[in-house]
Amino acid sequence: MKPGPTLHAHVLEALPAYGAVCVETEGGVFEALLPQDMAARLERPEHWRFTFDPEAAAEDRGADLLVFGNPVLARFLDYGVGVGAACRAYIPGLYVDNPAAGRLAAEALSVHGADLVLRATRVRNVRFARFLFQVSFMSDAREEDLCSAVVDMSTGSAARRLEGLLAAKSLEPRPERPFPEVPAIPWAQAYGKARAEALGRLATSRGALLRDQERRRGEEERRLLAFHEGYREEQHDLMARYRRQPERVAAIEAKIHAGRLECECRIAELPRKYALRTELRLRGLLSVVHPMVYADCEVLRDHKVVGHLSPRWNPLDRSAEPAPCPACGGLSYEYTVKTGPRETQPLLCRRCRPRAGDEVP
């Protein structure tokens, strides 16, 4: 596995978050000015030079080549874990005063059998956590990479779109405007979600590695069998030559038997040798906060309020986001009002509907 673009992106994003200044110079070499304590932890000068390109490192001996296996990279990742929880950044310059935001968020929802009326809009800061994992695929060889996953700490869902947008945004240590922050889910829950998300994303590379392992296991098995077959033929030739000496024939037969046993044992060991183990280690945590516009809506049926929904308008990619379901907490754009005289929870998302055995009006 080639070192993915994630390592490159992580180092360049993490440096400013840790208080360092970094610029790319010619020939793929980067120059960074590190805070004192960081330089000490990295065991590098405050004016630190590094590269991701082996050719550039060969030409410029003063630059560290950041690849797995280099202790400088290991210390860099350790430093991230050390400061991780304190690493919190804000995305400035987002257009939250858009007068159409509430309407756009409300219009993105559809509620069957009722009317959705926008009553108020609020701007709230929402926290997102980007977990960075070091991935090790271990078998007879070991391959490593980085993989990250972002979780929306207000809903507990994966925020895949934010990941792509983060790289293009500048981050600030302080909020631009002091909006109240939406309560966050516990870190342990977010970690579980991020891990599951990362494992899902690794399924493709894992599948490719598994197929490669299986091919190599098959090749080794065929090689062992061919070797044993050659040995057996050799011994049979010897037996033919000494056929008048029963003691030598018996000894040769014992050798053939032992050879066959050894071959069988080595083939039996192959599945263990080529088994693939995936290990994820948390190497960094970035907490990113940005404002969102919440559209507080009432759901009306026959002029009576039967529920509330609060979809969001996201100023980062200017999109309307789904609302959390009052019944299951899942995110959905589509709701149904349950009919019946005594419904304690009349609003149901698509996922809740079949479970509740509801009649769709």
- Which residues lie near Zn ion (CB under 5 A)? 325, 327-328, 330, 349, 352
The residue type found at 110 is: S
Q: Distance from CA of residue 307 to its chain's centroid?
A: 36
Please identify, using beta-carbon distances, which residue of 3 and 330 lies nearer to Zn ion. Answer: 330
CB-side neighbour CA atoms (13 Å) of 327 = 19
Q: Shortest Cβ distance from residue 358 to Zn ion (Å)? A: 11
The answer to whether 48 and 32 have CB atoms below 8 angstroms apart is: yes
Please identify, using beta-carbon distances, which residue of 19 and 330 lies nearer to Zn ion. Answer: 330
One DSSP character per residue, 235-290 reads HHHHHHHTTT-HHHHHHHHHHHHHHHHHHHHHHHHHHHHT--EEEEEEEEEEEEEE
Please identify, using beta-carbon distances, which residue of 284 and 307 lies nearer to Zn ion. Answer: 307
Length reported for the chain: 361
Please identify, using beta-carbon distances, which residue of 274 and 335 lies nearer to Zn ion. Answer: 335
Q: Shortest Cβ distance from residue 355 to Zn ion (Å)? A: 8
What is the spatial distance between Cα 222 and Cα 286, in angstroms, rounded to a whole number?
Answer: 49
- Which residue reads 């044993």 in tokens? 228
Q: Shortest Cβ distance from residue 327 to Zn ion (Å)? A: 4
* Cα angle 315, 318, 320; round to 5: 100
Q: Shortest Cβ distance from residue 212 to Zn ion (Å)? A: 42
Q: Shortest Cβ distance from residue 352 to Zn ion (Å)? A: 3
Please identify, using beta-carbon distances, which residue of 288 and 327 lies nearer to Zn ion. Answer: 327
